[in-house]
Amino acid sequence: MHRHLQLTEQGKLKHFLSIEGLDKGLLTEILDTAESFAGISEHQVKKVPLLRGKTIVNLFFENSTRTRTTFELAATRLSADVLNINIATSATSKGESLLDTIRNLEAMHVDMFVVRHALSGAAHFIAQHTAPHISVINAGDGQHAHPTQAMLDMFTIRQHKKQFEGLKVAIVGDILHSRVARSQILALNTLGVAEVRVIAPKTLLPAHVRSMGVIPLHDMDEGLSDVDVIIMLRLQKERMNSAFLPSESEFFKCYGLTEAKLLRAKPNAIVMHPGPINRGVEIASSVADGPQSVILEQVSNGIAVRMAVMTMTLGHHGGAA
């Protein structure tokens, strides 16, 4: 569906809006390009001149310090100029429309919009209406997609497991409202894992969840049995008061990841979480800080993956060589 919008006529990445419509080759190219950037953080000079002279606008209609910061760091390490615009406090509150805001920024000769928005489809809308030379990256839209988060998760899995074939992956928690889970499921299946399980109470699973290419389960013991990768999702506490869930302690008892439940997985299973973590709600501190946790690595990998997507969409292929 979004393939034609995201790709150039040559099949290169122009925008990065969704994992949907991207093939295994392109996802692997993102991971390989990120690999070439992964070591840069260790260098004394953390910058490469690939995007010198380019201006990247962080257009955040919804707060997210961590995502915004990693995009900002990624752009800075590529020597781009970065403009942070927090729309919640500026244009739209003055009654300016989204397109007016975009047109004004375009007039400043910017090259890329990194968009985060509470409405599904916002990044696609901007990509459809923006000037032809501008690339758009979706930094999370509504309950729809969060493709760079999914790719940094794939990068982290590949670092630890070397390949995707044969892996069993369990995603646990609020699948229904999670843009991250949707993007992860698409990426995992495209990259060819053996099995994606989703573990959640019925109230937190989408109606047609099987059509997403997953095995839905409601029991942690069964769901975590023999898996290689466990991805815990953040429980949005604001939903606790609604009909979806009984209480935090009840959720933790059934679906929180503890050391005891972790024993069901393979001994070398890795534990992931897109953050921010609610300790004692979806994951016990001893697991979040434990030897199988790669949660902080995910954050570091976010910079390399976002550097990769920025250089690929702005037409600089070949990584940091």
Q: What is the DSSP-derived secondary structure letter of residue 150?
A: H
Structure confidence at residue 90 (pLDDT): 54
Q: Which two tokens stand for residue 66?
A: 């961590």
E strand or H helix that includes residue 188:
helix 179-191
E strand or H helix that includes residue 81:
strand 81-86
> Of 4, 65, 89, 94, which is the active-site residue?
94
The question of whether 148 is a catalytic residue gets the answer: no
> Of 3, 52, 66, 317, which is the active-site residue?
66
Structure confidence at residue 118 (pLDDT): 82
The question of whether 94 is a catalytic residue gets the answer: yes
The question of whether 116 is a catalytic residue gets the answer: yes
Q: Which amino acid is at 16?
A: F
Each residue of 168-197: pLDDT tens digit? 999 999 998 888 999 999 999 999 999 999
Structure confidence at residue 318 (pLDDT): 42
Which residues contribute to the annotated binding site for L-aspartate? 94, 179, 234
- 1 pLDDT band (50/70/90 cuts)? very low
Helix (H, G, I), strand (E, B) or coil at 309: helix
Mean pLDDT of 23-48: 87
- Which residue is it, tokens 């990445």? 13
Spatial contact of 97 and 103, defined as CB atoms under 8 Å apart: no
Each residue of 63-91: pLDDT tens digit? 778 888 999 999 999 999 999 887 765 54
Where b means 16+ CB within 10 Å and e means fewer, 158-182 reads beebeebeebbbbbbbbbbbbbbbb
Distances (CA, A) of 147 to 67, 97, 165, 296: 12, 26, 21, 19
Each residue of 204-218: pLDDT tens digit? 999 889 999 999 999
Residue 75 backbone dihedrals phi, psi, to 5 degrees: -65, -40
> Of 14, 33, 67, 273, which is the active-site residue?
67
The question of whether 197 is a catalytic residue gets the answer: no
Q: What is the DSSP-derived secondary structure letter of residue 204?
A: G
Domains in the chain: ranges and CATH: 3-145+300-313 (3.40.50.1370), 147-295 (3.40.50.1370)
Each residue of 226-258: pLDDT tens digit? 999 999 999 876 655 566 677 888 889 999 999
| Alpha carbon distance 77, 124 (integer Å) | 26
Spatial contact of 205 and 198, defined as CB atoms under 8 Å apart: yes
Spatial contact of 188 and 227, defined as CB atoms under 8 Å apart: no
Each residue of 138-169: pLDDT tens digit? 998 877 889 999 999 999 999 999 999 999 99
Structure confidence at residue 63 (pLDDT): 75
| Alpha carbon distance 41, 34 (integer Å) | 12
